[in-house]
Amino acid sequence: METRAIDWWVGIFVLLGIAALIILALRVGNLSGFAYDDGYVLHANFNNVGSLKSRSPVKIGGVTIGEVTHIGMNPKTYMARVTMRIKPDIKLPIDTGASIYTQGLLGEQYIAIQPGGMPQNLKPGATITMTQGAVNIDQMIGQMVFSKAEGSSKSSGNQ
Amino acid sequence: MATEALVELENVFFARGPHPVLDGVNMRIPRGAIVALMGASGGGKTTMLNLMAGTLRPQSGQIRVAGQDLKTLSEEAIYSLRRQMGMLFQHSALFTDLSAFENVAFPLRRHFRLPEGILRKLVMMKLEAVGLRGAAGLLPAELSGGMGRRVALARAVVMDPMLIFYDEPFTGLDPISVGIIASLIKRLNAALGATSVLVSHDVEETLSIADHGFILAGGKIIAEGSPDALRSSDSALARQFLGGQPDGPVPFHYPTQQDYAAALRDSRSSGERF
Amino acid sequence: MAFFDFIPQTGRRTLLTIPNLGAASRFLLSSLWNIFNRHFSMQQLFRQIYGFGVRSLILMVVAAFFTGMVLGFQGYYALVRFGATSALGTLVALSLLRELGPVLTALLFAGRAGSALTAEISSMKATEQLSAMEMMAVNPLAWVVAPRLWAGIIAVPILCAIFDLVGIFGGYLISVPVLGVDGGTFWAQMQSNVTFSGDILTGLLKALCFGVVVTWIAAWKGYTARPTAEGVGNATTLSVVTASLTVLGLDFILTALLFS
C-alpha cells in the first residue's frame, strides 16, 4: 500500500470519527442547547419542581423557547428557585405565568409559560411570580381513590 | 594471542532459573580474527553471543567489548555500541514484509538520513558482495534458504561493523551454500577489517576458516587454540567432540537415577503410561 | 481429591500472575513511553491505524447497524405494553452510548485486530525478527510495539463513535419509518435525556480504556509467546479470549465507577 494513500485513509478515518462525535453531540446529546447562550435569564419560584432537571425545555404552546439552566432552593421561603434562559427575541409581559407539566403520562417534565397581557415586559433577571408547581401523580391518585371511596360509602349509606 | 583483545570475558557466570548455562567462562577474542566457538547443542553458545551483544546480562563476571565494560553501560550506550555490531541469525530473521533491498537498507534508514541515491549505492554494494544484486526486489518468501542467509549477511554488515556474530551460519544449508557462506565470512572479515565470532557445531567447515577456536562444554571452555592445536588436543572431551564420537566424557545417556532393568520391571507392574 | 487440589492451584496461579502483571505493566508503560524514542515512526503509526481502524470500519458499521435495528425492535415491543414508546429514542441511544457501543466495538476489535496483532508479533519473535532488530540497535518496543499500541488506543474510540452513530441511525430507521414511532418525539426524548459529557464522552472514555486493554493484551501475548508454531497459535487464541473477558469484567467496574 502506497504511504500517501495510507495517510489519506487515516485522515479520512480520523475525520469520520470527529464528524461522528459532533453529530452525536448535536443530534443525540443536547449540546444544541447552547443555542440559548445568547438568551436572557428569568427566575421562577415553585413550591414543587417534581422531576424537572437542568436542561429541561421551556415552552409556550408546545414550542421550545428556552431551557432550564439551574435549579436551586431559597433557604428562607423553602421554595424551589428555577433559573432559565429564554431566546432573546421572545419578550414576555410581567404578568406571565409558569407551570410545570408532564409530557404524556410517563414523559419528562417541562416548564409551560402562559404569556400575560400587560404592556410592560419582564426584564432580564426578573422573577415570574405566578407559578404552578409540578403535579404529584401519587398524590392525585391518592386523592382520587379517597374521594371514590368516600363517594361509594355515601351512596351505600343512601341506600 | 599477543594482539589486542576486542572482546574479553572474565569469569562469566550465567544461569537460566536454577540451571547454570555458563559456569565461569574466560575468553579473549583478538581484534581482526575469526574465532570459532564450538560445543554441543544447548551448551550455551548462543547465550554467549547474546552476552557479548548485551541482549543478556550475566549474573556475575565481566564482559568487555572494545574496552568498555558492558555492566557499566546504560541501555542507551549498549544500543549505540550495537550499531558497530552485526549478527547473522540461525534462521536469517529477515523481515518478511520487506523486500531483500529494504531488509538490507533497514539499519541504514533507521540510523541515518541518507539521500536515496547514496542509500541505494550502499545497499547494492553489499548485495553485490554476497552475489545477490539481482534479487534485490524479491521478498524473503521468494528466496531459497541459502539466498536468504546471504541477504541476512548483507544486512548484518551493511553498517560496516567492527564485530560480526554468526549464529550457526551453516545449519540447514546444502553443501554449495555452506561453501559460499564460509568463503563470504572469510572475505568480509578481511575486507571490513572486522572481528568475527562464529558459533557452530559444524566442526570441519568452521575450523577451515577460523583463526582460533574455543570448545565449550559443561558451561566452561575446555579447550582453545588454533585449529591445528585443537585437532591435536589431548583432552578427551575435545577429541570426542571433534571426532564426533557418540559416547565419551559427554555421555550418550541422559543422567537417570534408575537402573534400566529396574525401570522395565516397574513399568510392567505399575502400568505406567508413556 | 481433585476439588482440594483446586485451592493450592488457585494460589499458585495467583502467585504466578502477580509478577506477570508487573512485567506486563512495565511492558505497557515502556512501550507507550517509546513514542519519544528516535526510532518511533509516524509512518508506522499511520500504517497501523490504517490496519486497525480503516480496515475494521466495514465490520463495525455493519455490526452497529444491525445492533441498532435489533435494539429498536426489542425496545419497541418492551415499551409498547406500557404505552411508553416515546422513550424508545432514549432507550436506543443510552444503551448504545453507555454499553453496547464501547463493549461491542472492543470485542469486535479484539477478534479482528487484536488477534492479528498477537499473531504478527509472536511470529516476528519466533522467526527472530525482533532479536535481529535489537541487534541492529533498533528497539523493537519503539519500532514494532509502540506504534501498534498507540494505533489501538487511537482507533478504538474513533470506531466506537462511529459505531454509536450508525447504531442510533439503525435504531431510528426501525423505530420511525418501520414501527411508526413519532420522529420528533424520538429525537426530542433522546436529546433531553442524553448528556454530552455524562453519556457520550463517558462512553468514549470506556472505549479508550478498552482500546488500551485489548491492544495491551494482544501485544503482550504476542511478545511473550513461545517461539514455535504452536506457541503462535496458542498466543493468538489466548489473546482474544483474555481480551474479551477482560473487557467484559472491566466494563462492569467502569460502569460502576463512571455512571454511579
Distance CA A7, CA B235 (A): 65
Share the mean pLDDT of chain B.
85
pLDDT exceeds cutoff 70 at B272: no
Cell of B128: 553485490
Q: In the structure, what pLDDT confidence band is assigned to residue A139 with cuts at 50, 70 and 90? A: confident
Higher pLDDT pick, C252 / A88: C252
Give residue A101's pLDDT: 86
Q: Do C157 and A10 touch (CB under 8 A)?
A: no
pLDDT exceeds cutoff 70 at B252: no
Query: pTM for the full model?
Result: 0.78
Pairing verdict, β B34-39 and B195-200: parallel
Per residue in C39-67, pLDDT (tens digit) is 888 999 999 999 999 999 999 999 999 99
Per residue in C160-181, pLDDT (tens digit) is 999 999 999 999 999 989 998 8
Q: In the structure, what pLDDT confidence band is assigned to residue B106 with cuts at 50, 70 and 90? A: very high
Q: Do B91 and C131 touch (CB under 8 A)?
A: no
Identify the closest residue of chain C to B105 by CA–CA distance.
C136
Using CB atoms, which residue from B85, B90, B96 is nearest to C135?
B85
Q: In the structure, what pLDDT confidence band is assigned to residue C6 with cuts at 50, 70 and 90? A: confident
Q: In the structure, what pLDDT confidence band is assigned to residue B1 with cuts at 50, 70 and 90? A: very low
Per residue in A38-71, pLDDT (tens digit) is 788 889 998 888 878 777 778 888 787 888 888 8
The minimum CA-CA distance between C174 and chain A, rounded to whole Å, is: 17
Please state which of the ranges A44-53, B41-50, B234-243, C139-148 shows the lowest mean pLDDT.
B234-243
Three-class DSSP category at C84: coil
Which residues share a beta bridge with B68?
B65
Q: In the structure, what pLDDT confidence band is assigned to residue A34 with cuts at 50, 70 and 90? A: very low
Contacts of C138 in chain B (CB under 8 A): 106-107, 110
Give residue A153's pLDDT: 63
Segment B259-270 shows an average pLDDT of 70
Please state which of the ranges B58-67, C113-122, C232-241 shows the lowest mean pLDDT.
B58-67
pLDDT exceeds cutoff 60 at A32: no
What size, in residues, is chain C?
260
Give residue C258's pLDDT: 86
**CB within 8 Å of chain C, chain A residues 64-103:** 103
Segment B68-91 shows an average pLDDT of 88
The minimum CA-CA distance between A62 and chain C, rounded to whole Å, is: 12
Cell of B88: 547473522
Q: Are C149 and C219 in contact (CB under 8 A)?
A: yes
Name the residue ranges covered by the structural domains of chain B: 1-84+163-169+192-252
Q: In the structure, what pLDDT confidence band is assigned to residue B249 with cuts at 50, 70 and 90? A: low
Q: Are B147 and B127 in contact (CB under 8 A)?
A: no
CATH class label, B1-84+163-169+192-252: alpha beta
Sign of CA dihedral C16, C18, C23, C25: positive
Segment B144-149 shows an average pLDDT of 88
Name the residue ranges covered by the structural domains of chain C: 15-258
Could you give the strand order of the β-sheet that contains B68-69, starting from the edge strand earlier in sequence?
B19-30, B5-16, B60-65, B68-69
Q: Do A106 and C53 touch (CB under 8 A)?
A: no
Distance CA A43, CA A123 (A): 11
| C116: amino acid identity, one letter | A
- The CA-based dihedral angle spanning residues A10, A16, A22, A24, taken in that order and rounded to the nearest 10 degrees: -130
